[in-house]
Every structure is written in structure tokens, then in C-alpha cells.
Chains A and B, each alone.
Chain A
Amino acid sequence: MAKADLKDILKDWRLHAVVLILVSLMEAIGQFSFKVGPGVILLLPMVYAFVVGLALYFTPIVSDKMAKNAEPLIVLGVTLLIAKIGVMIGPQIEALIEAGPALLLQELGNLGTIFLALPVAVLLGFKRESIGMTHSIGREPNVGLIVNKFGFDSAEARGVMAVYIFGTVFGAVFLGLIAGILATATPLHPLSFAMASGVGSGSMMAASSGSLIAAFPGMEDQIVAFAGASNLLSSATGLFFSIFVGLPLTEKLYALMTIRKHRKVLSQKGGSVNV
């Protein structure tokens, strides 16, 4: 947990004042939605708060020290969010047990990442970086796994760090946007997207399920319970899934794809395939 002294963070009244004003303004603006083709793009106060907070970092209002002090508050804020999700899951426990098979099986959805992103990564010219990039959504446990297995200086580690950095900066905003668009533009049920929202990161889940709630306000309790349960499950199983399924599969597919590419190059040159 927080290495910085919480006492200093408590006393950083400027930081809390900035956040207080920021949150008040953004909540006063409220949510916006606009139609794009068949879907709806939802913009929530949490998205503006994030973007404006990021912009403020580049102004004199926010110092480097404040940015450092803000980190433990994210961790502690997420604990309150998880507590809130917990007390929304309890009353829905029967519905969740009934949907247990779907909850468990959708964890395999992580494989969608490998099948969709790995070929593109290879096509774009990434070498072994693509294994680190696409074996999972690259959160902290996955970074640990890759660094542990391939070493900090490896191509795989560079790959997983790229996705980690992207996810840290834009993961929540991106998932919030696509959740709103996909849930309104596709015939899939909001509860399916609620389960998909539980990717194993509290803020990403909040942004994604937040958009779903904004699009389907009548289903708020169910959406949060399903997203929260899926998120707990992802957090608990995500690393093991990467170790035993995600990473080995990505390595196999990568080997397969690069062999083919290799052969193609050779046959174009008129060389032997059996090199």
C-alpha cells in the first residue's frame, strides 16, 4: 500500500480543494449523450473529471508533489467503491448464483484479446513485443508475470509496459466510451456488457458500468452487481488464467504466425520452405 506518509497526504489541503472544486463543477455539468450512427456516446462527469484533472497537471495549479500525493487516494477511493459494490451484490446474490455459469465462462473472453490483437500486432511489425502486449490486458499482475518470466529488458516486457501505460492513462475512458456505444448499437443484452465490464480493474469497471447505468438507468442494481461480481472474479483468477492459458496460447499462436510469415517470405524469394 501507500508508501508516502498518509499524514502528509491528509495535510495536502490544496490537492483536496482542487479535487473538491473539480468534482463539484463536473457533477454540476452532468452527463451528455449524443447519437453516432446506431449507438450513443455517453460522456459522464467522471470522464470530464479525469480529462480536466490530467490537463491541470500541466498548469501551475497542480504540483508534482500533489500528483504524487493523489496516488494513495486512488487506492483508498477504490476501496470505498469496492465496498459499495459489495453491498450491491449481497441483495442480488440469488440472481448472481443463477447466472454463475455465464459469469465463470465469460472470464474466457480475455482470449478475445489474443485472437483480435495478436494478429494485428504481428501485422504491424511487432516481434516478441506482441506477446507481452496481447496475452492479457496488461495490468500490474500481468506486468509482474512477464517481467518475471522474460526479464525486465526483454522485448516481451517492453510490450506489456506499452499496454500497461496505455491502460493506466486511457483504459477507463476508453472502456467507458465503448461500453456506451456497444450497449446501445448492438443487440447484446446490457447484463452481458455488465459482466464484460469486470476486467479486473476498479476504475475501468466503474467507467464501463457507469456508462451502462447511464444508458439503462432502470437496471442500475443488476448492472453493478454483475459487473462487480465479474470484476472480483477477474481479480481473483486473472493472473492464473494468464499463467496457464493466456500466455502459453499467445506464445503458440505467435510461433505459428511467424512461421507462416517466414515461409511466405522465403517462397517469394524462391527459397526452400524447409529451412
Chain B
Amino acid sequence: MFNQAVKWTLVLGIFAVVAALGNWIGYEVLPWVAIPGLLVLIAISVLGLLLEKIVPGNIPSVGYIGLIGILVSLPFMPGSELIVAWTSKISILALATPILAYAGISIGANWADFRKLGIRSVVVALLVFFGTFIGSALIAEGVLRWQGII
């Protein structure tokens, strides 16, 4: 268990180095300014990954990670101001770019499957994603307007 946690931390560390560099180049935050925030995010992730292993039941790690992140940043939690200040130095886009870089590299392996999809399948798939996106946006718009929030 401890061993596994160390490995997760190291892999997340590599990822954080790439993200810190992107954060510097793209969003002009010096890497040492981003370090405390990245360490906090790594700690939350490792804790969530461990909870998935320890706690019985089928809750995926991202569920725990999201909840821990929300809890430690709630305004009335002690220390939350510091956590929010540190993590705000890391652009969410700087975290997303390395994810999609790794995804692009790994998805090349699925390319053969993708090529086999006909044009008809692609048309339907496009509408599937478009449909849920516009459907959700229209409902959200209606309710938010009705509530007077926007």
C-alpha cells in the first residue's frame, strides 16, 4: 500500500513537472510559485487513490478526490484560504494540456479502430455529443433564467 502510494506520488510528480513548465510558458507563473499548489493537488489525488483501495464499495477515486478538494477549500475550513491561494497559481488549462498530450500519444493505438468507422457512424456520433451538450445548455439556461440567476 505504502509502496503504491510512493509510485503514484512519483508519477504525479512527473506530470506536475510538465504542468509547471506549461504553466510557466503559457500562463507566466514561475515554477517555484506553482510548487506549493501542485504539492497540495498531488496530496489530494494520492489520498483519493488510497481511499478507493481502502474503503469498501465501488466509489471511484475521482469521486473521493473531488470531494476532498471541495472540503478543504470550503470557506469555513481552517487553512482553506491558503489552499485556494496556492492552487490558484496553477491554470486549469496548464493541467489539461499534458493530459491531452499523453492522450494523443496513447490514442494513436485506437486509430485503426477509428478508421473502420464509416461516415454514417461518425455523423451519428457527432450528433450524440452535440445533442447532450445543447440539450443540457438549453435546460440550464431555462432554469437559471427562471431562478433569476442570469
**What's the minimum C-beta distance from B75 to chain A, rounded to whole angstroms?**
6
Contact between B138 and A79 (Cβ–Cβ < 8 Å)? no
Find out whether the CB atom of B45 lies under 8 angstroms from the CB atom of A191.
no
Given known contacts A195-B137, A196-B137, is B128 in contact with A134 (CB within 8 Å)? yes
Partner of A189, one of B98, B134, B150: B150
CB-contacts of A189-208 with B (<8 A): 189, 191-193, 195-199, 202-203, 206-208
Q: Is A125 an interface residue (CB 8 A)?
A: yes
B33 at the interface (CB under 8 A from A): no
Whether, in the assembled complex, A62 has its beta carbon less than 8 Å from a beta carbon of chain B, the answer is yes
CB neighbours of B60 from chain A (8 A): 235
Give bound CA distance, A78 to B66, whole Å: 11
- Contact yes or no, B45 A80, CB < 8 A: yes
Return chain B residues, CB-CB under 8 Å to A120: 123-124, 127
At the interface, yes or no: B30 with Cβ under 8 Å from chain A?
no
Does A77 belong to the interface (CB within 8 Å)?
yes
Q: Which of B44, B66, B104, B123 contacts A51 (CB 8 A)?
A: B104
Q: Does the CB pair A90–B73 fall under 8 Å?
A: yes
Contacts of A197 in B (CB 8 A): 133
By the criterion CB–CB under 8 Å, are A57 and B105 in contact? yes
Contact of A182 among B72, B90, B114, B137 (CB under 8 A): B137
* A44 to B80 CA separation, bound complex (whole angstroms): 31
Instruction: Map CB proximity to B onto A219-230 as digits: 1 under 8 Å, 0 otherwise.
Output: 010001000101
Taking chain A's interface residues, is the majority helix, strand, or loop, or is none over half, making it mixed? helix
Give min CB distance, B118 to chain A, whole Å: 9
Please tell me which one of the listed residues B17, B19, B90, B110 contacts residue A169 in the complex, with CB atoms under 8 A apart: B110
* Other-chain contact of B143, A26, A72, A106, A114 (Cβ < 8 Å): A106
Contact of B140 among A15, A109, A133 (CB under 8 A): A109
A275 at the interface (CB under 8 A from B): no
How far apart are the CA atoms of A110 and B135 in the complex, in Å?
A: 6
B133 touches A178 (CB 8 A): yes
Q: How far is the CA of A105 from the CA of B24 in the complex (A)?
A: 39
**Complex Cα spacing A18 to B15, Å:** 12
B18 within 8 A of A: yes
Neighbouring A residues of B17 by C-beta, 8 Å: 20
B136 to chain A, nearest CB (A): 3
B contact residues around A188 at 8 Å (CB)? 137-138, 141
Decide yes or no whether A252 CB sits under 8 A from chain B.
no
What are 8 residue pairs bridging A and B, where the CB atoms are less than 8 Å apart in the complex? A54-B108, A66-B105, A86-B65, A101-B147, A103-B140, A117-B131, A166-B121, A195-B136
Other CB < 8 Å A-B pairs besides A83-B48, A83-B69, A105-B139, 12 of them? A23-B18, A53-B100, A57-B108, A77-B99, A79-B61, A109-B137, A112-B134, A165-B117, A192-B137, A192-B144, A206-B96, A210-B92
A interface residues with partner B (beta carbon < 8 Å): 1, 6-7, 9-10, 15-16, 18-20, 22-24, 26-28, 30, 44-47, 49-58, 62, 64, 66-68, 70-74, 76-91, 93, 98-99, 101-103, 105-117, 120-121, 124-126, 130, 133-134, 137-138, 162-163, 165-169, 171-172, 174-175, 178-179, 182, 188-189, 191-193, 195-199, 202-203, 206-210, 213-214, 220, 224, 228, 230, 232, 235-236
